[in-house]
Amino acid sequence: MKTELVYLVAVEGDMSAHGMGDKAHVIPFDILLLPQVGRFLKAQLDDELSCYVYYSPNKKLVSRKAKQNKTRKFGDQCRLMKDIGIFEDKYDARTTWTLMTSLNGIKESMPNVEIRKPVIISEVA
């Protein structure tokens, strides 16, 4: 049975085309890992939003403790992504990722990419 792949694409930060190199990194992974990746992406967005609101003039919208809690949850999700083999190192955690379903679409919209070896669920278990 053919494994269906989904793709994390670096759009900002260390592993993006404007980060440490000139190529955006793409991480193909087994669609069966999507629930964990979804939790990571939600934690990433929650942390970004809490940072934006906390450091804006409207600090009253989020407390320091709530902001710290979002950052801690994001760190926990980054470690889990490393544990299951999707992330390789700390630079992946310092990158903003987006989810894409078509490798052809990625190559068309971002011609300068580095595609990693796919992470397959049978290799993770």
Q: Tell me the domain boundaries of the chain.
A: 5-124
Instruction: Tell me the pairing of strands 24-30 and 5-13.
Output: antiparallel
**Sign of dihedral through CA atoms 22, 117, 80, 120?**
positive
Residue 123 pLDDT > 60: no
Residue 94, pLDDT score: 96
CA atoms of 101 and 5, how far apart (whole Å):
7
Which pair of tokens denotes residue 97?
A: 């990722």
Residue 58 pLDDT > 80: no
Residue 97 pLDDT > 60: yes
Residue 125, pLDDT score: 47
pTM of the complete model: 0.89
Reported as a pLDDT band with limits 50, 70 and 90, residue 85 is very high
Contact criterion met (CB below 8 Å) for 119 and 92: no
Radius of gyration of the chain from its Cα atoms, rounded to whole angstroms: 16
